[in-house]
Structure 1
Amino acid sequence: MDQAEQDDQVPEGAIAVVGMSGRFPGAPGLDAYWANLRDGVCSLTDFDAPAHEVGSKGILADADRFEARLFGFNATEAAALDPQHRLLLETAWAALEDAGYDPLRAPARTGVYVGGSPTGHMLAAATDRGLAARIGATQVRILTDREFLAPWISYRLGLDGPSMNVQTACSTSLTAVHLAAQALLLGECDTALAGGVSVDSVRPAGYVHVEGGIFSPDGRCRPFDEKAAGTVPGNGVGVVVLRRLEDALAEGDPVRAVVRGSAVTNDGSAKVGFTAPGVDRQTAAITEAWAAAGLDPARAQYLEAHGTGTELGDRIELAAAGAAFADARGHGAGIGLGSVKSNIGHLDAAAGIAAFIKTVLMLEHATLVPTVNVTAPHPALASSPFRLVTRAAPWPRPADRPGRLAGVTSVGIGGTNVHVVLEEAPRRPAAAEDGGAPVVLPLSARTEEQLRVLCRALADVLGAPGAPSPAAVAHTLWTGRTPLPVRTYVVAAGAAEAAEKLAAGVRDPHPLGEAWLAGEEAAAPAAPRGVRRVNLPGYPFAGERHGALSLAPEAARASAPRAEAGTEAVRETGAESGTESGTEGGTEAGMAAGVAAALREALGLDATDGAGGGLDRTYFEAGGDSLTAVHLVGRMRDEFGVDVPIDLFLEQLTLGAMVERIVALRAGDGELDALLDEFEAEESGS
């Protein structure tokens, strides 16, 4: 059997990636994303922050812009709509266009599987009485709650397949890919959108570094580096379009890569704590995914790891992946290893889809891209089957089948582990040409400026080496774009001619083109036999800024502490909380009441619970955990000016006695000590 015959075979259970779209730190689109990855760019942004914060983040530019009218929202609704909803709607539209499908006339039975992160906008909207009075409490909820991310896409784009929100913390978006692939294999849908979004705030906001916590002390993420000390938050959004490979090939879809198998596991209780990662079930997720693919993990050439850059998290992931790929052979220096978090930060619910899209792009370009910020590889790599990729390099295609293969792993707080096996797209015969007959290329947008941007982008594609044929471009534009009011067209027989006319704005009269300009409902011309849809530049969104709601007053926002990952700092501080002269005169009683209230609030205790008001139990007896302890340390410092040692929460004393100890402390006397190392297993889980 020759290579062409092998490539014609469709593996059982294979899922095609036919479209992609994403916006990531430093990259408004996938072309920029790829260029940054290839060139080893760190897209984390440094900015001024209060003294107790680290001013660094993977910032998503223009995260508050939204072309509301394109999706049928009025200005009031658009301002209330959470930025995550806005971005996910536009990204879903762009992903369908990338697949060659009109977003408003997508294939029947198209499903949606997406998830998002908590946002400051959502929290602020839930407590904004004026907003509820203006548009109604129910409307506020459906415009801001992340449980409506998937339904809004289905509703506004008219998609009638399953519509499901997915939520597995940091592994959310890769879990969404797994669930979408399973739904396709089960016949629950014929096309599926999968991905995620994370935009905690549209404004730059730093984070609080706690020794032994999950955040980096210097604003840089160094996965699998000997100096790995924590991650950095980031914002982003990504969506992929999936179809069964046999359908995609039969219907002329542009296949970008193939999902060969995937699996999801959970650590259960076999780990140190709820937020801690585990080894065994991470290993199981990898081995089960490769078994589902019918492939030997030893054939892998690259692993895109979760790679948060926390010392414990990286060590556990190396142990888990090392066990799964222990039999890897024939790869010279080993399986390539990397993590996109070094480039863009930890995107929370969108982390997995950022890694997935990165890996698809590497397969497309046959290039391995570097993990950045590396000082020296982690010592544990020396005894592993992996080599950390630190510079861009060609990715040769193995002589044996299958071809280039990679795994993508994502891990979530709470223990949900996901692994996806990706293979390069099958090589297909060159599409049949139509003998150079002139074709009409129709273009449209909402404004003249957007139309000019679109014409320039398409001209660049058609003027580049390896440009698609005008016949394929015409077929894609006629069947894969929503007709909009501002229109133009060009007539061309070759790619170079089309590029020149698009750049110059030359329009030769043509009956079909003139009918298009007039807005007439003209049937798309039949494509020549064998012509397929191709990936082309999509709609150039140019929405207005709609801002985002925040609980923090504008004047206080710059100094308000950011206490937890994933939310903008929204808590106001002041004398009411006991921060003013907490040790003078009669204020100790007020401070004690404030500290007790903070403990009850964090632990969900009832002040009327018995004589002790819920404070007659130890911290862990009352349901406390390490993340809440770190939160309370920050809250005690910010609201009461007291540096509480975190080991206080482990001592066998009642919460009432803890209140007395905290009040007795003086600001600056307490230090976080070595016990945080014991908590590291729980803090470094995502």
Structure 2
Amino acid sequence: MTDAPAVAIVGMSGRFPGARDLAEYWRNLRDGVCSIADFGEEELLASGVDPEELRSPGYVPAKGFLAGADRFEHELFGFNATEAAALDPQHRLVLETAWAALEDAGYDPRGVPEGTGVYVGGGPTEHSVAAQVDRRLRARLGPMHVRIFTDREFLAGWLSYRLGLTGPSMTVHTACSTSLATVHVAVQALLTGECDLALAGGVSIDSPYPRGYLYEPGGIYSPDGRCRPFDEKAAGMVGGDGVGLVVLRRLEDAQADGDQIYAVIRGTAVSNDGAARVGFTAPGVDGQTAAILEAWAAAGLDPADAQFLEAHGTGTDLGDRIEVAAAAAAFAGARCELGSVKSNIGHLNAAAGVAGLIKVALMLAHRTMVPTVNVTRPHPDLDLDATPFHLLTETREWDARVARLAGVSSLGIGGTNVHAVLEEAPPSDRRSPTPSYQRPETSPHRDTSAAPSQSTLADPSQSTLEVPSQSALEGIDPSAGAAPEPGTSAVVLPLSARTQAQLSTAAQRLAAALREPGAPPLADVAHTLAHGRAAFDARAYVVAATHEEAAAALEALTSAPTGTSAPVKDPLGEAWVAGREVGWPSAGRRVHLPTYPFAGDSHGALTLSPQPTAPEPQPEDRAEDRATAVSELFMTTLALSAPSDLDRTYFAVGGDSLTAVFLVSELRDRFGLDLPIETFLREHTLNEIIARALNPEDDDPLGDLLDELEQ
């Protein structure tokens, strides 16, 4: 243990090849699963791969594929369907992953502490490139808006804007070391007081569709679609897609608040190889060694005490030899296991570093080392027997007589090296490592006492609940919570979601988590659900005194009809399902629990593949047909559910300046109608705006606006 300032990882979220969440990610790592996908010819052709490229003898149909990367619950973040389709998939996934990471840390994503910092980075995407050359899209949205929706430069900005985060907001780019560099910058910001809470990590979605690559002898890519870091058969890397974010706090703050800690970041450092390498894309030995030594010096620790190194590990001949040489010089005297997550999921480009960081944090939390897959014997040229390293090829318990310590390295083309030193959480903070993501096989909780429990499920828009009157709620002490049964300590567990189906999913996931060994105390569960989650329209609650009661009541919610109420009601719970603001008790700590069950639609992505040329739309000839088509344009663009919504104003239905530009462009291109954009600034209903578009000769909206401003 060291007294040097440190940073705690208090929340995490990620989606990686073969893993929808971190529970699946951990199981795949623990079980030695290779999640690199192999695609069939028909699948690749259907996804837009050029047939000529596919027929090339060097084409390798493999990738670390991220399923569902084009799905996005746009309503949750204030985007309409048109905007969501234009938004780059990387932006979409970063928004959802940030939401989940904050919830995992026990924070309401819509009520994050003042001054929360954002440090993220992303890779180049096919969607972004295609958007820049899509003349029709640029004509509709304008070049600036296309860039704002698609350029990775705005990843941090969108995150801060949509979640209301007012601290430093930076998009970081250091090529393949990007996401670990964001962690370094965030750690420095926390230790110097620039922020008190930080989100850090990265994303890389080159395309959400199946893709392979062309193998070139002597290049960096593998000829067979598998990555074998440090192995005798190592021949190159395989690309992959993924996203990962961590929530960071200063260690002393996290401990003071009783936060649940995955691992502690003891030190970080960044260096560059400068000109001391054979080429711009080649790594250098001295620069890597310097980054490792500087990080351990910042931690106040001896590199000889390291027990595991998560290497960059691309599986290329030159890269592996240089990395082992650099690390061996830094870790002289250590007895250290060596691994690389790229063997499991491929090289995630800008998200590679955070994928390794999260892997090591999970290993420390579970006290388990996981293997590097696809390997048999170390490459003889590496001479690992003469180094501090042993290539780990099997899962085993992480035994340690002293604190468990690990290093994480990430290297970028261009020479930027990043290293982080991780230590297991202090003993008092080692609580259940990952019950928050469970989709797993469940096991009964030890506590099976049969005290009474109750549950209720309600959607206020459909509910038939007997809502307590204001007089009935007066005099309730919010700190008291539910009135427990004699001899029990029952608590209220509130749930909410955007839809009834998502509410049922949330209840199922929480029930599974509560049945896991080491599930957190119910008082902490209640506290986290009440204070660490956003409130939505579909709501439910259960009252229970044991984990088994709570799990059973939560499972009962999934089959209960909407509006069902428990025979014995809890006043705060009833106020909750009725849609009232409730002053929940504050007796408890933030713990890791299942996060929001996203259920977004597929919004696709732009591609560079040749597409059939669609005929240009022609203006409708008949006036009634044109009026109907214009109304449908407004309904579709603004994602309106009923014609009655056209009686609302533009801003009341979620319109903004960007969508107004799109509508003006569509009216001009499709219908030959010129509608001044100033019309959308007025307090007109949508029907009135449509009428003014169809009958422009009777209206002068700019003149009306100027008259109104003068008055």
Question: What's the TM-score bracket when you normalise by the shorter of the two chains?
Answer: 0.7 to 0.9
Matches within 5 A, 1:19-38: 19-38=11-30
Aligned counterpart, 2:589:
532
Match of 2:106 in 1: 100
Aligned twin of 1:237 = 243
Do residues 192 (structure 1) and 244 (structure 2) align? no
Residue 237 of structure 1: SS of its match in structure 2?
strand
Question: Hey, what does 1:452 align to over in structure 2?
Answer: 504
**What runs of 5+ residues in structure 2 fail to find an aligned partner?**
42-53, 432-483, 561-565, 614-711
C-alpha contact (below 8 Å) 1:468/1:495 kept by paired residues: no
CA deviations on 1:398-437 (whole Å, 9 max, x unpaired) are: 2x3xx10000000000000000000001111799xx9941
Structure 2 counterpart of 1:271: 277
Q: Is the 8 A contact 1:173 1:353 kept in 2?
A: yes
- 2:590 and 2:356 map into 1 onto residues whose CA distance is 26
1:51 alignment partner, one of 52, 55, 65 = 55
2:573 maps to 1:513: yes
What amino acid maps onto 1:536 in structure 2?
Answer: L
Residue 523 in structure 1 maps to residue 524 in structure 2: no
The residue correspondences of 1:554-565 to structure 2 (distance < 5 A) are 554=611
Listed as ranges, the matches of 1:127-526 within 5 Å are 127-328=133-334, 334-379=335-380, 380=382, 381-398=384-401, 400=402, 403-428=403-428, 436-505=488-557, 507=566, 508-526=568-586
Query: For the structure 1 residues 430 and 66, does the alpha-carbon distance in structure 2 shift closer, same or farther, using more than 3 Å as the test?
Result: closer
Structure 2 distance, partners of 1:143, 1:111, is 21
Measured in 2, the distance between the counterparts of 1:462 and 1:436 equals: 18
> 2:60 aligns to what SS in structure 1?
coil
Which residue matches 1:600? none
Q: Distance in 2 between matches of 1:551 and 1:312?
A: 32
Residue 169 of structure 1 contacts residue 413 of structure 1 at CA under 8 Å; is this kept in 2? Answer: yes
Question: May I ask how many residue pairs the two structures share in their alignment?
Answer: 536
Q: Is the 8 A contact 1:121 1:548 kept in 2?
A: yes
Structure 1 residue 470 displacement after superposition: 1.2
Shift of 1:291: 0.3
Counterpart CA distance in 2 for 1:465 and 1:251 is 24
Distance 1:277 1:489 in 2: 55
Alpha-carbon separation, structure 2, partners of 1:51 and 1:535 = 48
Could you tell me how far apart the structure 2 residues matched to 1:114 and 1:352 are?
12
Query: What's the offset of the Cα at 1:51?
Result: 3.0
Query: In structure 2, what is the Cα distance between the partners aligned to 1:37 and 1:429?
Result: 24
Q: After superposition, what is the alpha-carbon deviation per residue over 1:487-540, rounded to whole angstroms, capped at 9, x for unaligned?
A: 10000111111011001127452100011001111112131xxx3211000000
Alignment-mate amino acid for residue 345 of structure 2: I
* Structure 1 residue 139 displacement after superposition: 1.3
Which residue identity is paired with 1:552?
S
2-structure distance, mates of 1:321, 1:496: 49
1:13 Cα shift? 1.3
* Residue pair 2:261, 2:429 contacting (<8 A) in 1 also: no
Secondary structure in 2 matching 1:226: coil
Residues 268-295 of structure 1: CA deviation (Å, up to 9, x unaligned): 0111111110000100000000000000
Conserved 8 A contact 2:365-2:430: no
Report the residue type matching 2:580 in the other structure. Answer: E
1:572 corresponds in structure 2 to none
How far apart are residue 223 of structure 1 and its match?
0.2
Matched AA of 1:540 = P
What letter matches 2:591 in structure 1? V
Task: Give the residue type in structure 2 aligned to 1:489.
Answer: Y
Distance 1:382 1:394 in 2: 22
> Counterparts of 1:317 and 1:465 in 2: how far apart (Å)?
39
CA RMSD of aligned residues (A): 1.6
The alpha carbon displacement at 1:203 in A equals 0.9
User: SS in structure 2 opposite 1:502?
Assistant: helix
Q: Is the 8 A contact 2:123 2:205 kept in 1?
A: yes
Q: Tell me the equivalent position of 2:34.
A: 42
Matched letter for residue 396 of structure 1: D
Q: How far apart are the structure 2 equivalents of 1:103 and 1:254?
A: 17
Deviations 1:330-370 (A, max 9, x none): xxxx3110000000000000000000000000001100000
Counterpart AA for 1:406: A
More off after superposition, 349-358 vs 371-380: 371-380
Counterpart of 1:544 in structure 2 is 601
Structure 1 counterpart of 2:314, one-letter code: T
Kindly state the Cα deviation for residue 555 of structure 1 after the two structures are TM-superposed: 6.9
Structure 1 residue 382: deviation in Å? 1.8
TM norm structure 2: 0.74
**CA distance, structure 2, for counterparts of residue 95 and residue 525 of structure 1:** 24
Distance change in 2, residues 1:211/1:86 (3 Å): same
Q: Is the 8 A contact 2:261 2:430 kept in 1?
A: no
Q: Deviations over 1:100-135 (max 9, x none)?
A: 000010111100000000101001111112112222
> d(CA) in 1 for partners of 2:136 and 2:611?
17
User: Given residue 355 of structure 1, which amino acid in structure 2 is its aligned partner?
Assistant: G
Q: Are residue 17 (structure 1) and residue 17 (structure 2) matched?
A: no
Amino acid at match of 2:344: N
**Matches of 1:235 and 1:80 in 2, distance apart?**
20
Q: How far apart are 1:554 and its partner, in Å?
A: 4.1
CA drift at 1:214: 0.4
Residues 140 and 383 of structure 1: is their aligned pair in 2 closer, same or farther, counting only changes over 3 Å? Answer: same
What letter matches 1:544 in structure 2?
D
Q: What do the CA deviations read for 1:609-652 (whole angstroms, capped 9, x no partner)?
A: xxxxxxxxxxxxxxxxxxxxxxxxxxxxxxxxxxxxxxxxxxxx
Which whole-Å CA distance do the structure 2 matches of 1:407 and 1:467 have between them? 29
Q: Give me the whole-angstrom Cα distance separating, in 2, the residues matched to 1:213 and 1:294.
A: 40
Q: Once structures 1 and 2 are overlaid, which stretch shifts more, 14-23 or 378-387?
A: 378-387
- When residues 375 and 430 of structure 1 are mapped into structure 2, their CA distance, relative to the original with a 3 A threshold, is closer
Q: Partner amino acid for 2:589?
A: R
8 Å CA contact 2:227, 2:342 repeated in 1: yes
Amino acid at match of 1:340: V
In 2, the alpha carbon distance for the partners of 1:163 and 1:419 equals: 22
For 1:468 and 1:354, locate their aligned partners in 2 and report how far apart those are by CA, in whole Å.
Answer: 26
Distance 1:223 1:87, change over 3 A: same
Question: Secondary structure, in 3 states, of the residue corresponding to 1:90?
Answer: helix
For the residues of structure 2 that align with 1:518 and 1:138, how far apart are their CA atoms? 44
SS at match of 2:128: helix
Q: 3-state SS of the aligned residue for 1:97? A: helix
SS at match of 1:428: helix
Cα separation, partners in 2 of 1:474 and 1:57, compared to 1, 3 Å: same
Q: Which moved more, 1:132-141 or 1:252-261?
A: 132-141
Encode CA deviations 1:366-417: one digit per residue, 9 max, x unaligned.
000000000211222121110011000000132x3xx100000000000000
| TM value normalised by structure 1 | 0.77
Find the counterpart in structure 2 of residue 126 from structure 1.
132
Q: Read off the aligned partner of 1:452 and give its amino acid letter.
A: S
The 2-side partners of 1:187 and 1:397 are apart by 33
* Kept in 1: contact 2:266–2:299 (CA 8 A): yes
